């Protein structure tokens, strides 16, 4: 039995390992101007994208942060900060808050059954302790299974889910830390694929995060300078086929900073920047150039000769630490793996918000480049946010093209004030 995916996202998700092997097969290590670089055999730049399983874990789930170029690590928190930085929940202004987001996916292709739904919440236990939770559900719609002749066999509905719980604690008035635990489920269908049985995949992960907020006064106006540091999706490998080598989940390093400035009692502005990097091994090319200028097999691709690339066989701890220096193209390629987000949020009277943002990824590492815009309205306990994505490259498509996504947030009570005299 063969798989004929009618959804583009299904193809990308199901063929992760195959894609990674194809990318590494097209790239070669070549000496150019005295240094080793990763290029195509003809010398042109080589795309060497890092590919992981369950990439839905890195999709920005809400409209507020999605309208700010996908920043959120150090921005004033709401329940959706569970995705970015759960330690930031300790600084939430409300005692209890709940959010619901619905994001249509691939709507520009005319698909109506592919979507991401996200629920998140937080609650202050006291002035130092905060708990949070979230549920992420990604539906890949309906997919047709066929035999080798193209005859329909059965219809399946692939789906993925993440359930997360977080505990955040203020270590001081300005500094907090958090641990979030996750259960990850992914089902792309059932049945035999090339003699192997396709089964649902399960994994466990954790986020470790830190937030520091420094109050400032500029021209007698209140301001804040915030910093966030996050290690997310640190967890076990995952596989859909029992006989296959297991794939990495998208472990990520994130650093963010945000500057808040209150012009007066009615106008405020936030400018934020996030930098992210996947802590996953970079694919190794199969081929390299020798001293005589000939293309030969790369001896570091599969040193034990078992048919599995060495970069796929690293343990999770080793892969995380080595990911900061394992790129075949050296330091230059490592810096190209950084993803940059910049966003701005303007509030008028704490009731109406306008947001802009930009996201940039290097052309050899995925080439995602887009602008975002959005609006927010706050009334009493009710908040609603909208966002819209605009590709930065005219010929480039995005799953959120021509899509308006929205989030609802409900806030209750005021957060307890931090008691400086309290010990512990």
What digits encode the pLDDT tens for the residues 86-128? 999 999 999 999 999 999 888 777 778 889 999 999 999 999 9
Asked if residue 323 is part of any domain, the answer here is no
In sequence order, what are the residues at sequence separation of 6 or more whose Cβ sits closer than 8 angstroms to the Cβ of residue 194?
none
Which of these ranges, 43-57, 142-156, 165-179, has the smallest mean pLDDT? Answer: 142-156
- Domain-embedded: residue 27: no
In a domain, 330, yes or no: no
Helical H runs in 48-110?
Answer: 63-66, 81-84
- DSSP 8-state assignment for residue 174: S
Asked if residue 287 is part of any domain, the answer here is no
Q: What is the mean pLDDT of residues 342-365?
A: 94
The mean pLDDT value of the chain amounts to: 85
C-alpha triplet 309, 314, 319: angle, nearest 5°: 120
Is the Cβ–Cβ distance between 56 and 70 less than 8 Å?
Answer: no
Q: Is 18 helix (H, G, I), strand (E, B) or coil?
A: helix
Q: How confident is the model at residue 191 (pLDDT cuts 50, 70, 90)?
A: low
The number of beta carbons lying within 10 Å of the beta carbon of residue 231 is 16
Per-residue pLDDT, averaged over 370-386, amounts to 94
In this predicted structure, what is the pLDDT of residue 401?
79
Domain CATH for 373:
2.40.160.60
The more confident residue out of 50 and 287 is 50
Residue at 305 is within a domain = no
Q: Is residue 409 part of a domain?
A: yes
3-class DSSP state of 393:
coil
What's the mean pLDDT in 396-409?
A: 85
Reported as a pLDDT band with limits 50, 70 and 90, residue 348 is very high
In contact, 56 and 138? CB cutoff 8 Å: yes
Q: What is the dihedral of CA 85, 90, 95, 99, to 10 degrees?
A: 0
The total of structural domains in the chain comes to 1
Phi, psi of 63 (to 5 degrees): -80, -30
Reported as type and span, the H/E element at residue 316 is: helix 316-322
| 334 domain residue, yes or no | no
On the question of pLDDT at 196 being above 70, the answer is no
Q: Return the pLDDT at 394.
A: 72
CA dihedral sign of residues 290, 28, 53, 68: positive
Q: Is residue 10 part of a domain?
A: no
- Specify the range with the lowest mean pLDDT, choosing from 70-74, 192-196, 200-204, 391-395: 192-196
Its domain, for residue 150, covers: 56-281+345-414
């Amino acid at each position: 039995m063969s798989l004929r995916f009618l959804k583009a996202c299904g193809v990308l998700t199901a063929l992760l390992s195959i894609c990674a092997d194809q990318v590494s097969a097209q790239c070669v290590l070549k000496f150019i101007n005295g240094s080793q670089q990763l290029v195509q055999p003809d010398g042109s730049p080589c795309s060497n994208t890092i590919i992981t399983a369950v990439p839905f874990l890195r999709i920005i789930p809400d409209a507020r942060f999605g309208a700010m170029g996908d920043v959120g690590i150090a921005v004033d928190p709401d329940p959706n900060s569970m995705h970015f930085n759960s330690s930031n929940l300790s600084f939430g202004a409300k005692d209890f808050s709940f959010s619901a987001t619905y994001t249509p996916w691939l709507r520009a292709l005319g698909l109506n059954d592919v979507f991401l739904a996200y629920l998140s919440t937080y609650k202050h236990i006291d002035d130092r302790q905060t708990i949070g939770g979230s549920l992420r559900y990604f539906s890949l719609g309906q997919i047709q299974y066929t035999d080798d002749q193209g005859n329909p066999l059965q219809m399946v509905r692939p789906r993925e889910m993440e359930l997360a719980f977080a505990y955040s604690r203020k270590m001081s008035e300005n500094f907090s830390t958090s641990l979030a635990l996750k259960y990850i489920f992914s089902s792309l269908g059932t049945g035999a694929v090339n003699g192997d049985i396709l089964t649902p995949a399960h994994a466990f992960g954790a986020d470790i995060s830190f937030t520091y907020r420094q109050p400032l006064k500029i021209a007698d106006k209140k301001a804040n300078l915030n910093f966030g540091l996050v290690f997310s999706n640190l967890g076990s490998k995952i596989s859909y086929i029992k006989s296959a080598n297991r794939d990495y989940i998208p472990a990520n390093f994130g650093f963010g900073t945000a500057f808040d400035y209150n012009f007066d009692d009615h106008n405020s502005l936030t400018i934020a920047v996030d930098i992210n990097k996947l802590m996953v091994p970079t694919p190794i090319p199969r081929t390299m150039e020798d001293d005589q200028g000939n293309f030969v097999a790369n001896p570091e691709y599969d040193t034990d000769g078992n048919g599995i690339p060495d970069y796929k066989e690293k343990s999770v701890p080793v892969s995380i630490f080595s990911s900061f220096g394992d790129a075949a193209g050296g330091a230059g390629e490592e810096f190209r793996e950084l993803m940059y987000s910049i966003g701005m949020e303007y509030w008028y009277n704490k009731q109406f918000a306008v947001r802009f943002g930009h996201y940039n990824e290097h052309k050899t590492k995925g080439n995602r480049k887009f602008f975002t815009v959005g609006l927010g309205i706050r009334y009493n306990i009710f908040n609603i946010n909208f966002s819209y994505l605009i590709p930065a490259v005219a010929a480039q498509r995005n799953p959120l093209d021509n899509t308006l996504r929205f989030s609802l947030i409900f806030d209750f009570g005021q957060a307890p004030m931090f008691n400086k005299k309290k010990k512990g």
